[in-house]
Amino acid sequence: MDPNYTPIDHEIIRLTLKNAETVRGQRVFPTSGIGATDCRHFRLRGIPCSVYGPRSYQMGAPDEFITAQDLIDIVKVHTLTAFDYLEWLD
């Protein structure tokens, strides 16, 4: 599949970073990640997206895990970002 991306200056990226910083209480930096997320399907249909997820411990190894606090924070960031983005579209 051809590569695709959401521009770093897009509103969805700005809102994700803002909400992550609010929830986490520290600065969050954008970065490119590994490929193969479902975002490619949305972007190919003109829907911008960002990926925000947990820190993974022992990724790809036995007993891979995330912390419960990371899970709670991710739900908060996703919820706030969806709300803000829908309000921005209005």
Q: What percent of the chain shows pLDDT beyond 70?
A: 98
Query: What does the pLDDT read at residue 56?
Result: 85
What residue spans define the domains of the chain? Answer: 11-27+36-89
Segment 52-64 shows an average pLDDT of 90
- The full 3-state SS of 3-66, as one line of letters, equals CCCCCCCCHHHHHHHHHHHHHHCCCCCCCCCCCCCCHHHHHCCCCCCCCCCCCCECCCCCCCEC
Query: What does the pLDDT read at residue 75?
Result: 97
Per-residue pLDDT tens for 64-82? Answer: 999 999 999 999 999 999 9
Q: Whole-prediction pTM value?
A: 0.87
